[in-house]
Chain A
Amino acid sequence: MASPSKRAPVSTRLSPELLSKLDALVAELGGSRSDALRHLLETYEPELLDEQAPLFDPPLPVDEDEPAASFKETRYDHVA
């Protein structure tokens, strides 16, 4: 029986396929989930992402009349 992870799960949104592989590795090798995830990432090639996946969506349009904001200069402006 594998020892439980010493820390909280490294990732909370792994795909079911990857999660299943990760749990199998932890059971097989023991150690932490982060160790197992590291091993998995070095040995398991992800499937090609669907060309239509939301990751590749264009951005929503913005109002052209609004002045541009800068993330670099204002990243913490709203924390006051």
Chain B
Amino acid sequence: MPGPVKPSLFIDASAWVALEYPKDASHQAAMAFLGNLRGPDRRFGHLHTSLHALLEAHGWLLHNVSSRHADHLLDRVERGVLLHEATSEDFWAAAARRRKEAAESVELADLLSAVLMDEVGINTAWSYDDDFEAMGYERVG
């Protein structure tokens, strides 16, 4: 009899950069956390990210590290990660959150990720910035 389904995990742009860039301040923590995503005792089930998080991470790696590092990210996410694409409807939902909530310091991109997380019931984000905690999600990594 299979046990309960493990919760999903959303992977933010800051986590992708931390994995790909060995000089990132969170690189060691990110590699250690990555190891916990495999094996029968892993805490999380499905892994998710968003198109805009990948675009942000890829652009940063391209301009600050190298083209090879940026494209290595594409190889990394090719298998095993569910990629979510925001619609204009999602975008305006994120914009509404910025206007309504106490989210003055939260990036619109992270609010958009939060909209996508809510749509499929994800409560935890792997991230190295404070935005997800500020929005009330569990942050891991």
Contact = CB atoms under 8 A, between A and B. Distances in A.
A1 interface: no
Interface of B: 2, 5-6, 8, 13-14, 17-25, 27, 31, 34-35, 37-40, 45-47, 51, 56, 59-60, 63-66, 68-69, 72, 75-85, 87, 89, 116, 119-121, 128-129
Contact of A61 (B14, B22, B47, B120): B22
Nearest to B116: A10
Given A10-B120, A51-B38, A72-B14, A59 B83 contact: no
A38 B8 CA distance: 10
Given A53-B80, A68-B23, A78-B63, 17 more contacts: A7-B89, A10-B84, A10-B85, A11-B83, A14-B82, A38-B121, A42-B121, A48-B40, A55-B77, A62-B21, A62-B66, A66-B23, A69-B23, A70-B25, A71-B60, A75-B60, A78-B59
A71 B64 CA distance: 9
A16 to B, nearest CB: 12
B22 A59 contact: yes
Interface residues of A, number: 41
Contact of B128 (A11, A62, A72): A72
Contacts of B22: 59, 61-62
Given A38-B121, A69-B64, A71-B17, A46 B46 contact: yes
Contact of A75 (B27, B56, B87): B56
A7 B107 CA distance: 24
Contact of B8 (A41, A68, A70, A77): A41
Nearest to B71: A60
A42 B7 CA distance: 8
A74 interface: yes
A66 B66 CA distance: 12
B65 A62 contact: yes
Given A38-B119, A54-B76, A11 B84 contact: yes
